[in-house]
Amino acid sequence: MIATIAAAAARALLGRRRTVLIVLFAAVPVLVALLARDRGPNATETAAQLIDLLVIRAVLPITALVLGTAALGSELEDGTAIFLLTSPVARWRIVAAKLVVAAGGSALIAGGSALLAGLVVAVDDPSRGFVAAAVVGVIVGAVVYSALFLAASIVTSRALILGLIYTLVWEGTLASLFAGTRLFSVRQYVLSITDAIGGGSAHPFGDTLDGATAVVLAAVVLGLGLAVAIDRLASWEIGPAD
């Protein structure tokens, strides 16, 4: 059942012009990587900066935003979700199916972007190890972001802009001002997990959370996102008739 819904969702979500645009966007880090190759102080530092600025701060959240809010949100907004919701499928299965597609797509695109861009600049072994760690971190980020934005899209029709404010203001500006907000920032989890797996002694991302803490927090946020999504979907109401 999940597979059926996921297949339909994949067709609706990914088989569109927007996917081409997202993939083009995800290619930008790779292009910049080609220019940055062999130019930085050391390969790991180069890879870290490249992936941090272009993938973790841009491609990853924006891809997860677009796919996560559209997976269920576009159907809820245009009304075609009725045909899905008036079926005896358990709400958690619906959420799971949609999440698989959104998170899978985001992980593939953002992870692929990190991988390809990273491989271009990773000319020595430590940097390759770092890139592999970054891909893992990005995939984790894709799953958690997608779950959060999927839940948000059920609660409000403005999930995309709110998600943007979250990533730009909360995870960006505020995190640099108030260190405590790092605990509630998915970006921090991604950076911390990457650093824990492949950061080595260099710690190119600076002061991040402890790896285990980040994993636990990410799992908690993921669980909360799923719980909210399932509950809100079960209580979803059609808008007032014209």
Report the interface residues with another protein, using CB under 8 A.
1, 4-5, 8, 11-12, 18, 21, 25, 28, 32, 35-36, 39-40, 46, 49-50, 53-54, 57-58, 62, 65-66, 69-70, 73-74, 78-80, 82-91, 158, 160-162, 164-165, 168-169, 172-173, 234-238, 240-241
Q: Which of 160/186 has CB closer to another protein?
A: 160
- C-alpha distance from residue 80 to each of 2, 34, 111, 196 (Å): 18, 44, 31, 44
SS3 60: helix
Scanning 122-210, the segments in alpha helix (DSSP H) are 125-155, 159-165, 175-177, 186-198
* CB of residue 202 to another protein, shortest distance in Å: 16
CB nearer another protein, residue 5 or residue 186 = 5
- Please give the single-letter amino acid code of residue 207: D
Shortest separation between residue 213's beta carbon and another protein, angstroms: 28
- The least distance separating another protein from the CB of residue 168, rounded to whole angstroms, comes to 5
In the bound complex, what is the minimum distance in angstroms from residue 76's beta carbon to another protein?
A: 11
Using the minimum distance from each CB to another protein, give the nearer residue, 60 or 196.
60
Which backbone phi and psi does 203 adopt, to 5 degrees?
Answer: 50, 65
Cα separation, 156 vs 220, whole angstroms: 22
Tokens (6 digits) for 180? 């405590």
Smallest distance from another protein to CB 164, Å? 6
- Nearer residue to another protein within complex by CB, 51 or 214: 51
> What span, in angstroms and rounded, lies between the C-alpha atoms of 61 and 173?
15
Nearer to another protein, 197 or 234 (CB): 234
Q: Which residue has the tokens 């692929």?
A: 112
